[in-house]
Amino acid sequence: MKKRHSSQTADGGSGDESDALPPDFWERAEPGYIFLPKLLGSKKAEKLMRGKAGRPVEKHPGVRTTIRLAPEVNAYFRKSGKGWQTRINAVLKQWIAEHG
């Protein structure tokens, strides 16, 4: 645990009124999408604000659809584990290449 200097308060401030925010601080505050480009430049700000969570965005994303499969087909691909829908897609692409 980091030891505090004896003149600091629990929140890290020195305890005197000079550490307090000005009364109009929140009225003047700007959202990140406005002040970050001013502070960092537009390219760096855009990169910083772009979310990194979740799956990466695909160049050619698939189309969301609903398909009915025979129970044995569904069971076969699902038991093969993660990526079973991708494998079904590959089989269908192969069929198109051979019969298309």
pTM strictly above 0.85: no
Report phi then psi at 39, rounded to 5.
Answer: -80, -45
CA 66 to chain centre: 26
Q: What is the mean pLDDT of the chain?
A: 84
98 pLDDT above the threshold of 90: yes
Beta-carbon contacts of residue 3 (< 8 Å; ≥ 6 apart): none
Q: Is residue 84 in some structural domain?
A: yes
Q: Number of structural domains, the chain?
A: 2
Q: Give the residue from 95, 76, 94, 98 showing the smallest Cα distance to 85.
A: 76
* Residue 84: count of CB within 10 angstroms of its CB: 14
Q: Is residue 11 in some structural domain?
A: no
Q: Which domain holds residue 23?
A: 17-49
Q: Is residue 1 in some structural domain?
A: no
Q: Give 48-86 pLDDT, tens digit per residue.
A: 888 777 777 788 888 999 999 999 999 999 999 999 999
Q: Give 78-88 pLDDT, tens digit per residue.
A: 999 999 999 99
CA distance 1 to 89: 53
Are residues 44 and 73 both part of a single domain? no
